[in-house]
Amino acid sequence: MSEEAEYQKLQGENRKPSGNSSGSNPPPIKRRQFLIYAGLGGTGLVTTVVFSQIFQVQPKLLTFEFETVTVDKTGKIVNQENHQAKYFKEDLGNGITLEMVQIPGGSFMMGSPASEKGRRESESPQHQVNVPGFSMGKFVVTQEQYQQIMGNNPSSFSGAKRPVEQVSWNDAVEFCQKLSQKTGREYRLPSEAEWEYACRAGTTTPFHFGETITTELANYDGTDTYASEPKGKYLERTTDVGSFPPNAFGLYDMHGNVWEWCQDDWHDNYIDAPKDGGAWTSRSGDIKLLRGGSWVYDPQDCRSASRDVNYGDVRGYIYVNIGFRVVCGAAWT
């Protein structure tokens, strides 16, 4: 059966009475959602994933509390605030869960100003982007989560709660596809705009922590400095997720630890970049975006606006500092 015929068949079945006491029917399947799922495999798989999405109960929203810190250019903490955020848990099996934090929609200035230390021309021109609400992993994907979904763990630095690394962009996309199949929700990599918006969490400074960072706040090569902070540690390895303070959205490790794959293809600058928060995939697709910096990079490479690039289909030791986190378009109230 063709994709179009299968789509029409599912639409017809979806209009049948649900048999519930209210007599209401599930919402119709959007064509875009169907086509996304159609790329996951054969008709049986498509039907399974789409129907699991239709009939699945929305996950229960929970609330967590956390504290954020702000530092000045010397690295001194000048402000501490208490926050709350909503999240939901995906049960991956064997006691392993995935925590997804709700990110409210909004507008922000993407990129860096000409005055920002360490900035590159690829971070310009600054431009306003309107980002719809979405949900994002509280942490990067861990080794135990990756093992549970993919059945293997390619990481060099072993540890269940450490980030999975040595994963290609293609590996990360496959993880999202399998996670979507398992949960019935559409998981994917973040767009570059979503990633920076989520990282900044309302800030305009080089880091969501403020004017600089220290190795008390993030895992990076602390033998170099960014502003007037003292030199710190260089651990030469990844650390367990959540080892450092979060940002104002409740997301951890947005600066350092591992670079994070984004959906987007690499572009040399932001001229003609989309302004709706979507991924920019108008090139050949071989070279992909990375965000966030890592344990082996200097602090300037861990800035909110910093960008890096790598081939999407290569894995190996060179990727020992590359991981990813997932997003879900679903937002519940």
Residue 37 has which token pair? Answer: 């799922």
Same domain, 46 and 130: no
Question: Pseudo-torsion of CA 100, 277, 182, 316, nearest 10°?
Answer: -90
CA triple 258-262-264, angle to 5 deg:
145
Q: What is the reported pLDDT for 59?
A: 84
Same domain, 93 and 32: no
Answer with the one of 55, 76, 96 that is the final residue of a domain: 55
| Beta-bridge partner residues of 103 | 134
- Rounded distance between C-alpha atoms, residue 174 and residue 176, angstroms: 5
Q: How confident is the model at residue 27 (pLDDT cuts 50, 70, 90)?
A: very low
Write out the H or E segment, with its range, that includes residue 131. Answer: strand 127-131
Buried b (16+ CB within 10 A) or exposed e, 102-111: bbeeeebebb
Q: What is the reported pLDDT for 56?
A: 58
Range with the lowest mean pLDDT among 51-60, 76-85, 143-152, 171-180? Answer: 51-60
The H-assigned helical ranges of the chain are 3-14, 31-38, 43-55, 143-150, 169-183, 192-200
Mean predicted confidence (pLDDT) in 35-39: 40
Same domain, 308 and 201: yes
Is residue 114 included in any domain, yes or no?
Answer: yes
Q: How many domains does the chain have?
A: 2
Same domain, 171 and 293: yes
Q: What is the reported pLDDT for 87?
A: 98
Closest CA to 270 of 154, 79, 162, 129: 129
Mean predicted confidence (pLDDT) in 297-323: 91
Cβ–Cβ under 8 Å, residues 326 and 191: no
Answer with the one of 24, 40, 55 that is the final residue of a domain: 55
Asked if the model's pLDDT at residue 26 lies above 80, the reply is no
Same domain, 9 and 34: yes
Is residue 93 included in any domain, yes or no?
Answer: yes
Q: HSE-up of 141 (CA within 13 Å, CB side)?
A: 33
**SS3 at position 172:** helix
Residue 180 CA from chain centroid, whole number: 15
Q: How confident is the model at residue 128 (pLDDT cuts 50, 70, 90)?
A: very high
Same domain, 241 and 316: yes
Q: Domain residues for 38? A: 3-55
Asked if the model's pLDDT at residue 274 lies above 60, the reply is yes
Q: What is the reported pLDDT for 329?
A: 85
**SS3 at position 122:** helix
Average pLDDT score, the chain? 87
**SS3 at position 301:** helix
Q: What percent of the chain is predicted at pLDDT more than 90?
A: 77
Cβ–Cβ under 8 Å, residues 221 and 317: no
Return the number of other C-beta atoms located less than 10 Å from residue 192's C-beta.
Answer: 28
Same domain, 47 and 160: no
69-119 pLDDT tens trace: 999 999 999 999 999 999 999 999 999 999 999 999 999 999 999 999 999
| Beta-bridge partner residues of 30 | none
Q: How confident is the model at residue 48 (pLDDT cuts 50, 70, 90)?
A: very low
CA triple 43-44-50, angle to 5 deg:
85
Q: How confident is the model at residue 37 (pLDDT cuts 50, 70, 90)?
A: very low
198-243 pLDDT tens trace: 999 999 999 999 999 999 999 999 999 999 999 999 999 999 999 9
Q: What percent of the chain is predicted at pLDDT more than 70?
A: 80
Same domain, 19 and 130: no
Range with the lowest mean pLDDT among 15-24, 274-283, 287-296? Answer: 15-24
Is residue 216 included in any domain, yes or no?
Answer: yes
Asked if the model's pLDDT at residue 131 lies above 80, the reply is yes
Same domain, 114 and 216: yes
Answer with the one of 23, 39, 55 that is the final residue of a domain: 55
Asked if the model's pLDDT at residue 284 lies above 90, the reply is no
DSSP 8-state secondary structure symbol assigned to residue 52: H
Same domain, 156 and 98: yes
- Rounded distance between C-alpha atoms, residue 31 and residue 9, angstroms: 12
The residue with tokens 């990282």 is 199
Q: What is the reported pLDDT for 283?
A: 67
Is residue 333 included in any domain, yes or no?
Answer: no
CATH number at residue 286: 3.90.1580.10
Same domain, 149 and 196: yes
**SS3 at position 241:** coil
Is residue 299 included in any domain, yes or no?
Answer: yes
Range with the lowest mean pLDDT among 7-11, 201-205, 306-310, 327-331? Answer: 7-11
Same domain, 73 and 27: no
Name every residue whose Cβ is closer than 8 Å to that of residue 252 and which is 6 or more positions away in sequence.
138, 139, 241, 242, 244, 245, 246
Q: How confident is the model at residue 13 (pLDDT cuts 50, 70, 90)?
A: very low
Residue 86 has which token pair? Answer: 């909503």
Cβ–Cβ under 8 Å, residues 252 and 239: no
User: Quick one: the chain helix, strand, coil %, rounded to 5?
Assistant: 25, 25, 55
- Rounded distance between C-alpha atoms, residue 304 and residue 196, angstroms: 6
